[in-house]
Copies of this chain bind each other. A is one copy, B any other.
């Protein structure tokens, strides 16, 4: 084994840890990003200034892909117990074993909360998993996706067929580009729902957590339309969440809610979602109006995680989180 060095650049400069590509031969036959071999030989370890002082590690069977796109470092590896893993800028985006929780919840929390969603925009979500879930809703007529990084789409199609299957639906139209610019060009009131499947607010997704972005989303939604955005961990990022809730209360004049769910390979084991609606027909996110039929013949995979009970349960917050944001939450009953 060549000399190894721990790379935790995120802790020094406020960015995520970088996966630099060294000349080491970790698995004996491939050049390996240093973040793989630098810590535990043969393990991937996830460090970030977003979760200082802790790191989750997965054992690597084989590195399947590594490259640097125009926007970020992209890596895919076969883990020993979580299936294939997609990593962007050193941060796990999804694993085959637990992606169901994230993809199903970020999609069905908004789409089961409004009757007959027809037009949906996905921002980010280049892996295709959200598309797969949107397609379960038989009322859907149009699924636009705007992903900034074509390499994420290509890698998903090559290595994650169970997520990229989402692209096969004829209602899907893929746009490669910046989500903010895409939204600005969208005619007012176009979508029933916008789903923002972003990475963390460090790196290419930073704009997706700021007020101008939420204003553009609100404008693109019909009255009583809904948005669901990835909104971090109550255990790690309560202050970021409070800021997002504040911005959303300013921008969205309907409901403003926060939900959360369990995803083992995300830091602290949970991820949250901001769910907001524009002024118009009332939306009570806590009580789904659509019951997803697990036996829908069109879906190629059964639901693994989502059901109506867990939909409602996702809005029940621990006391420490309620104290921080419940005064800012706006339910419609």
Contacts and interface: CB of A to CB of B under 8 A. Distances in A.
Interface of A: 6, 39-41, 43, 45, 51-59, 79-82, 98, 100-101, 235-236, 260, 262-264, 266, 268-270, 294, 302-307, 309-310, 312-314, 316-320, 322
A11 to B, nearest CB: 10
Q: How many chain copies does the complex carry?
A: 2
Nearest to A320: B304
A53 B45 contact: no
B81 A53 contact: yes
B319 A306 contact: yes
A296 to B, nearest CB: 13
Q: Which 7 A-B pairs have the closest CB atoms?
A: A269-B269, A53-B81, A313-B313, A313-B316, A53-B80, A264-B268, A309-B316
A135 B314 CA distance: 29
A45 to B, nearest CB: 7
Contact of A57 (B57, B268, B306): B57
Most chain B Cβ neighbours within 10 Å, of A6, A263, A310: A310
A238 to B, nearest CB: 12
Contacts of A41: 6
